Homo-oligomer: A and B are copies of this chain.
């Protein structure tokens, strides 16, 4: 069943209004009509089967048929901090990372990032990134939409990292300046309900200086399997494995 995230201003106790883009999608793309059903999802994670009772020129009116108890959110809270990659890879990571259960995304300006974002460019990008994670959440049947930060520096990431229970960075075993642990050995120490900050370099990885900063700030160096993954594949590998460990093995 089609799912829409509806902001809390448009919910009453057992009814809701769908406006703007979602209105357009229901009426013009899905061509739904009176009595058709969809899943309405509040941003706090509560969701319900809803039935359309009226369609006007700019709003779909619906009532709640049944509140749902869904368990599609990963039982740990994962933040992906990613050195800004080239081209459309960041948007790819947002979409696929949302499908795979990430809670929060932070792009950061890494010394090897080819892309540089100024604040003017960013102003347009942030709403687009939020739209990508909202739509990916709807498609993946998630009950919560991940959040996306503006572009930070590695120092910002390090300052923010004290709010997390666990933090590690992806480190290519081939460079060997630090001993990298296996992902399994690391995540087997994490408990449900905890938060994990995963830091991934851009194409070319972290500079020595960045790796050293992260190590000093208490991040562990973790290898992601025996093959060398591209920057945009690395977060998906981590998320898929955390899903496997916390959702499928138990």
Contact of A226 among B72, B139, B241 (CB under 8 A): B72
A244–B230 CA distance with the chains assembled, in angstroms: 17
CB neighbours (8 Å) of A218 from chain B are none
A241 / chain B contacts, CB cutoff of 8 Å: 240-241, 244, 248
Q: How far is the CA of A184 from the CA of B240 in the complex (A)?
A: 12
What's the minimum C-beta distance from A144 to chain B, rounded to whole angstroms?
Answer: 11
Which residues of B have CB within 8 Å of A249?
184
A141 to B175, CA, bound (A): 13
- How many residues on the A side are at the interface (Cβ–Cβ under 8 A)? 31
Q: How far is the CA of A22 from the CA of B126 in the complex (A)?
A: 40
With A233-B96, A248-B184, A249-B184 as contacts: A139 and B240 at CB distance below 8 Å: no
Tell me, in angstroms, the Cα distance from A72 to B139 when the chains sit together.
34
Provide the bound-state CA to CA distance between A101 and B184, in Å: 18
Known: A99-B229, A241-B241. 15 other contacts (CB 8 A): A71-B226, A72-B226, A96-B230, A99-B228, A100-B233, A101-B227, A183-B248, A184-B244, A184-B249, A225-B247, A226-B247, A236-B240, A237-B240, A240-B241, A240-B244
